[in-house]
Amino acid sequence: MDTAVSRTNENSPPYVENTDPQARRRHGDMSAIPGWGADLDHANRPGYPMERTPPRLEGVHWDEPEQQHSHVKVFHSNERPGMTPVYGTSVPPRGLSGMLRSFAFRFSENDMRHWLVLLMADRVDMGEGILEDLAHGHIPNIFSEMGGPAEWRYNRAGFVRKALIVSTAVALAVYLLRRRNR
């Protein structure tokens, strides 16, 4: 790419070679430049159209797969008319996280509230899982489940930094709580 400033006369602006299509054509053949001509005629572009209708499967006994029946609530986008024929039901919605997911699917997928509520529902579901473990007498090993041993083994500097930040935050919280109680 030309980066030199050249002025043929006092009236021509600098960098005219980079912006003027006529000046580019005067420099010669540009077809060796990757991506050059991407906005030219579609008939000359080998990748156009990118999407094609895939061929139908041969020898199948159906035009569309049979609709899967479900005994649990399955969320789907309100932007589509119906359910896909096949979907997963391994983790049905339950508890507060399920109610949050139900609330999230009232909004369109292009609405930020949809995704933020789903993120919050995931965090609530994690908390519900910990409470469920405690209710069944299983004390979760949060350090291992959050990747602590791997962090210590492969990213010691990051582990120490996080430990210092958490220790400082806990010490500050304890200090402020003790100071308030005096």
Bigger pLDDT: 17 or 162?
Answer: 162
Buried/exposed code over 51-78 (b: 16+ C-beta within 10 A; e: otherwise): eeeeeeeeeeeeeeeeeeeeeeeeeeee
The 10s digit of each residue's pLDDT in 22-58 is: 665 666 666 667 777 667 676 666 666 666 676 777 7
Cα gap 101→98, rounded to integer Å = 5
Bigger pLDDT: 16 or 141?
Answer: 141
Residues 22 and 41 in one domain: yes
Q: What is the dihedral of CA 76, 82, 84, 88, to 10 degrees?
A: 40
Is residue 22 domain-resident? yes
Quick one: what percent of the chain has pLDDT higher than 70?
73
Residues 73 and 83 in one domain: yes
Give, as one character, the DSSP assignment of residue 65: P
The tally of domains found in the chain comes to: 3
Is residue 59 domain-resident? no
Residues 96 and 131 in one domain: yes
Q: What domain range includes position 154? A: 142-181
Please give the average per-residue pLDDT across 146-166, as a whole number. Answer: 94
Predicted TM-score (pTM) of the model is 0.53
Residues 103 and 132 in one domain: yes
Quick one: what percent of the chain has pLDDT higher than 90?
41
